[in-house]
Amino acid sequence: MLLPGPLATLIMADLGAEVIKVEPPGGDYARHMKSFLFEGANRNKSSIVVDLKAPQASDIIKRLAEYGDVAIEGFRPGVASRLGIGPEQLQAINPALIYCSLSGFGQTGPISTKAGHDLAYIAMGGGLAQRGQLRQAPSRSSLPVADIAGGSFAAVAILAAMHDRKEGETGAVLDLSLYESVLYSSAIRFGFETSVDENNHLYPANDLFTCGDGRQIALTIVETKFWDSFVEVTREIQPAFGQNAFATEEGRLENSDKLMALLDELFASQPAAHWIAFLDPADVPATICVSNQETITSDHAKARAMHMKSGETTVMPFPVIASGQHVTSNQRTAPARSIDATKIMGKLGYSASEISDLAAQSIIEVPDK
């Protein structure tokens, strides 16, 4: 898996854990993708390439299991055990080890080995059954929702298992499905009743509108108090918002076509910045849709130190401030492939000559000095 496991371990690395990334020969597939994914999800980690298919790797696996508190894998069900790194095998070495499997559809069930990626899990988890905007069919997000949910839930589950583990007890074996991670979220929002109106979660004034300069604004009016504030502040420029047909949530939804046409006309008359300056003093919730690059240069982002440097790369620290300080303080860039092999193998008790021999057999990869 390209993101769920790396995200779960990134969260723990940001919180101070030592994370060893074990990569296959040739490196993580994400290294070769034309995106920021690998750099973004693998900072603050160490890397070692190990050929898990080689019989000679078994001793390395044993020592890693003895060294670690947690093992995370993202193979399809059954693959980890065939490689000798399944939960039974690793907990036989270190019974206290917490073992987390991240997969698309879980370790059991008739489609557990089915292939898929983020979009498939969102689709099957109900995440595309409902539209998010009144005037559009259901559509995918640019963010990998299932991967983010699954990786985040995995981090929470691992930390809970570590907290719950008692001295002398066997560590938990965690089975986390990305499809179920989406379904969990979807069920909170929509439940499981087939009689629910497909539009009852939508609000005409909680949508995107194009402004006079071509930029989009997110107007996020849900509660009536905000609608009342909007009606008041726009009374002189568009009194039609104050008509009785729009006075209630039900009325606004029932007359959504007419209301949204009025909103389109209003926002198209001025640039986005004008509308923020106009609506903010009235406490009407609205924001301009911006890029990552734009948001980190804002005064608010600077005030909250929402970005920091990882080498030459700008990154977002763990998004929690504890007692006035960001939890993440130190940042290291995503590691070069197997750059830490010698150091990791030394921690596991291997001598320099043993490391050289394993590298010569292509069991591990040691970077050139």
Q: What is the pLDDT of residues 292-307, one digit of tens each?
A: 889 988 999 989 888 8
Query: What is the distance between the alpha carbons of residues 267 and 213, in angstroms, rounded to a whole number?
Result: 10
Burial of 197 (0-12, 13-18, 19+ CB in 10 A): exposed
Query: What is the distance between the alpha carbons of residues 53 and 51, in angstroms, rounded to a whole number?
Result: 5
At 202-259, the pLDDT tens digits run 899 999 999 999 999 999 999 999 999 999 999 999 999 999 999 999 999 999 999 9
The separation between CA 78 and the C-alpha centre of its own chain, rounded to angstroms, equals 25
**Residue closest to 334 by CA, chosen among 4, 47, 11:** 47
Q: Does domain 4-191+310-365 have CATH number 3.40.50.10540?
A: yes
Query: What is the distance between the alpha carbons of residues 193 and 284, in angstroms, rounded to a whole number?
Result: 33
At 201, is the pLDDT very low, low, confident or very high (cuts 50, 70, 90)? confident
Q: How many CA atoms lie within 13 A of 322 on its CB side?
A: 6
At 89-134, the pLDDT tens digits run 999 999 999 999 999 999 999 999 999 999 999 999 988 888 778 7
Strands 308-310 vs 313-315: parallel, antiparallel or unpaired: antiparallel
Query: What is the distance between the alpha carbons of residues 335 and 115, in angstroms, rounded to a whole number?
Result: 28
Indicate the length of the chain as a whole number. Answer: 369
Query: What is the distance between the alpha carbons of residues 362 and 50, in angstroms, rounded to a whole number?
Result: 8
Q: Which residues contact 22 (CB under 8 A, 6 or more apart)?
A: 48, 49, 50, 52, 64
8 Å CB contact between 268 and 262: no
Beta strands of 46-91 (E only): which ranges? 46-50, 70-73
Burial of 75 (0-12, 13-18, 19+ CB in 10 A): middle
What percent of the chain is predicted at pLDDT more than 90? 77
Does the active-site annotation cover 147? yes
pLDDT above 70 for 350:
yes
Question: What residue ranges of the chain are covered by domains with CATH 3.40.50.10540?
Answer: 4-191+310-365
Segment 82-91 long-range contacts (CB within 8 Å, at least 24 positions apart): 83/52, 83/53, 84/52, 84/57, 84/58, 85/52, 85/61, 87/173, 90/61, 90/65, 91/170, 91/171, 91/173
User: In Å, what is the CA distance from 267 to each residue of 214, 243, 257?
Assistant: 10, 19, 16
**Helix pair angle (272-279, 224-233), 10° resolution:** 110
8 Å CB contact between 91 and 70: no
8 Å CB contact between 331 and 316: no
Catalytic annotation, pick one of 14, 28, 118, 147: 147
Q: pLDDT at position 79, please?
A: 97
Q: How many CA atoms lie within 13 A of 67 on its CB side?
A: 16
Query: What is the distance between the alpha carbons of residues 293 and 17, in angstroms, rounded to a whole number?
Result: 29
Q: How many CA atoms lie within 13 A of 292 on its CB side?
A: 9
At 283-293, the pLDDT tens digits run 999 999 999 88
8 Å CB contact between 366 and 344: no
**CA distance from start to end of the chain:** 31
- Full-model pTM: 0.91
